Amino acid sequence: MALVNMILLLLTFAFVHHQVAITEARLDVGVCYGMIGDNLPSPAAVVQLYQRYNIGKMRLFDPNAAALTALRGSGIEVTLGTLNKDLPSIASSVDAAKTWFDTYVQPFMSDVKITYLSAGNEVVPGDLAQYVLPAMRNLQSVVAGYGYSGLQITTVVATSVLGTSYPPSISTFSDAARADMVGIIKFLSSSGSPLMINVYPYFAYASDPVNVRLDYAQFTAIGTVVQDGSLSYPNLLEAVVDAFYWAMEKEGVTDVDLVVSESGWPSAGNGDFTTPALAQTYNQNLVKRFRANAGTPKHPDRSLGGFIFAMFNENQKPAGVEQNFGLFNPTGTPVYNVF
């Protein structure tokens, strides 16, 4: 999650608490299905859990064959990622990308509803960043060759791609990320695909609770917390999303939508900052925010959707909060109720 960079950037958006319940039966957002645990349910049981709770979208971080097999015929919309380590090969040629696609994705296209294919996760900036754009181009060629018009190619980035970022209207891409991001967003503009972003208000709050208001981080503030010119921000997530819109606009790209590919709040691992009640409040309000089909102050015309991180507490992640982002225990029981 590129935690240090994310914390520093989210802190720039910083600044009393009532809980909003979700009563609707349908969760019209996605949940990330991570698998870094040795006690998790079988993929078939996981798919049944998504269906039981009417979770219609799943993000898979890699093309896990058992998970994709379990998804056959389920109707669940899947955002599927490549492994970061596979990017150099996929980027090397269209033929190499086709080999990867034919091995990992094509066998499931007839009865798994794969809607997005992400070339890497949080790769920019970094050593593998140079491979993202050519990998996206090659995968787009493969998908177009098959005529899969409903499958869009994208990538997932963290807030670490932003440099100047507060207030949102002066946001830019960082020097380390800019060259790669400009190429990526221009590709997305030409292909009509969204950019996926990971946004975690929790880390800003936990790092500086004096200056980062809990109500601003948790969608519970009454009225405006941050005023940016004519734009009013009642919550941190919308400010971060708009920072991305402003950064893209400064590069001449105004028609790329954003999808929140990860956001969540841990229920344990960092004392009073990570209680089940706080996690429940954040995720219930995140669901409500996504289900409202509303935009942001900068782009009220663009519905903002996304994914909660994550489906399960994963015991093989680093100790602490990383093990406690799950909505469910490995037994399949809720850590707390969201839907």
**238 an active-site residue?**
no
Stretches in the chain below the pLDDT threshold 70: 1-28
pTM here is 0.91
Tell me which amino acid residue 115 is.
T
157: exposed, middle or buried (C-beta count within 10 Å: 0-12, 13-18, 19+)? buried
Residue 63: what are its φ and ψ, rounded to 5°?
-80, 70
d(CA 264, CA 254): 27
pLDDT of residue 17: 29
Residue 28 CA: distances (Å) to CA of 22, 133, 238, 250:
12, 30, 19, 32
Q: Which of 122, 238, 314, 322 is catalytic?
A: 122
State the helix-helix crossing angle for 94-104 and 132-146, rounded to 10 degrees: 70
Q: Which of 238, 249, 251, 262 is catalytic?
A: 262
**122 an active-site residue?**
yes
d(CA 6, CA 244): 13
C-alpha triplet 312, 318, 319: angle, nearest 5°: 85
Beta strand 226-228 pairing with 231-233: antiparallel
d(CA 209, CA 187): 38
DSSP count for the chain of H helices, then E strands: 11, 10
d(CA 15, CA 105): 44
C-alpha triplet 295, 296, 300: angle, nearest 5°: 50
What is the 3-class SS of 91-117, one letter each residue? Answer: HHCHHHHHHHHHHHCHHHCCCCEEEEE
| Enclosing H/E stretch for 30 | strand 27-33
pLDDT of residue 19: 29
pLDDT of residue 164: 78
pLDDT of residue 28: 62
